[in-house]
Structure 1
Amino acid sequence: MEARIIVEKLHIVVQPGRSLTRSMYLQLLGELPQVIWKGLIFQNQARPKATFTLWLCLHGKMLTTERLNKWGMNVDPTCVLCRSYFEDKDHLFTECSYGNQVWNRLLNWIGQPFITPQSWTQHLEWSLTHGKGKSAQARIFRMLNAEIVHAIWNERNTRIS
């Protein structure tokens, strides 16, 4: 009974077809901007751990040696996959010779040409373009994109340990 008084004070507008709880939740949530890469994560048929790895990468939360060094940890900054450049997200997924070989081989396997991107932003735009839609080719591309990111990250972690 007291909850009704509180709800009335909050001036919650209950939209037709929605429950009071959902209306309250949406009002408390507010207007949040949508991320551009949501199409690569949602409705992705990749394994959950591959999708989660892609999610970490898109959020910039992967523990690359660059991030670890920024935190003050003493870690060798050289990429363990190619042994020639400093390891960061841009390098691992767009500049690294090992990563580019993986991308090139698997995308050629599905008949998708791979153009080596210059930065992570360019790679993300390219991925969004090829993964857009509900076609079988777009679904396969989204799944393969997540699996490739996971495979590169997994190989990197395997070589470190």
Structure 2
Amino acid sequence: MKEWETKVCWNNVCLPKARAFSWLAGNRRILSGDCLRKMGFVGPFRCVLCEKAEEDVDHLLLNCEFAQEAWLFGLQRLNWKGPMAGNLCDWLDSWLVSGKPSTFATVWKILPSIVLWELWKERNRRVFEGKAENRQRFLIRLERAISELVSNAASHVNLAKVPFTQFDASFLLSWPLVKFRPVNGHLRANL
């Protein structure tokens, strides 16, 4: 098993279908244009997100300007700045995962799988349904997907036992859709 598979795909917070898709994408087993061509399909395999390049796994999920904007949206919300790798496997392999439980760590764990999954869903919506969302609406949908997962994960945890870090405070200010519900009679105020 590759290191990125453990860090990105097999965490217990993310949606199972997003985790499975991340594994497929990282192992280049999704039906993107380059894979379809190898299977003998004929057709124009332009990226439907940017319409500027041939569609392959790396372009579609990492290097396309639409994908870049999705990654930067999530990473900037987490106050992360740094270079992005040129291919998906290297990018996933470089993903650092903290073992300490916190809201920030939860978002950090699920971000790659959710970004990949939402990009794939948007690609398929354009290919099979002929519907395209503009970038702003896509980013709102991405934010909602991440917020729902984090809020759901937080609802199953006794927040009184989880340390509240400076990263959590910064994250909650920049990601207001995340909601914490009290569990088992515990209430925690995020001020």
State TM-score, norm by structure 2.
0.60
Instruction: Tell me how far apart the structure 2 counterparts of residues 79 and 91 of structure 1 sit (CA, whole Å).
Output: 8
Please state if 1:62 is matched with 2:37. no
Note if contact 1:100-1:116 (Cα within 8 Å) is conserved in structure 2: no
Q: Which has the larger radius of gyration?
A: 1
1:133 is matched with which residue? 99
CA contact (8 A) 2:26 2:89 kept: no
> Among residues 44, 47, 50, which one is paired with 1:82 in the alignment?
50
Deviation readout 1:33-83 (Å, 9 max, x if unpaired): x32221212224111221121121122211001110111111312100010
Match of 1:145 in 2: 112
Number of aligned residues? 126
CA displacement 1:13-35 (0-9 Å, x = unmatched): xxxxxxxxxxxxxxxxxxxxx32
Aligned to 1:157: 124
Which residue in the other structure is 1:19 paired with?
A: none
**CA contact 2:61–2:67 (8 Å) conserved in 1:** yes
Cα distance in structure 1, aligned partners of 2:10 and 2:89: 19
After TM superposition, the structure 1 = structure 2 runs for residues 2-81 of structure 1, keeping only pairs within 5 Å, are 34-37=1-4, 38-81=6-49
Check conservation: 1:65, 1:88, Cα contact below 8 A.
yes
* Partners of 2:53 and 2:20 in 1: CA distance: 26
Give the Cα separation in 1 of the matches to 2:20 and 2:85: 23
Superposition TM-score, scaled by structure 1 size: 0.70
**Aligned residues of 1:46 and 1:147 also touching (Cα < 8 A):** yes
Instruction: Tell me how far 1:112 sits from its aligned partner.
Output: 2.2
Residue 10 of structure 1 is matched in structure 2 by: none
CA distance in 1, matches of 2:90, 2:54: 19
Relative to structure 1, the CA distance from residue 152 to residue 103 in structure 2 (aligned partners, 3 Å threshold; closer, same or farther) is same
Alpha-carbon distance between aligned partners in 1 of 2:23 and 2:80, rounded to the nearest angstrom: 23
Please identify runs of 4+ aligned residues in structure 1 that moved more than 4 A. Answer: none
Conserved? CA contact 2:3–2:93, under 8 Å: no
**CA distances 1:96-137 after superposition (whole Å, capped 9, x unpaired):** 00000011112112222253322223312322x2x2434423
Instruction: Supply the distance in 2 between the matched residues of 1:89 and 1:109 (Cα, whole angstroms).
Output: 25
Structure 2 distance, partners of 1:80, 1:98, is 10
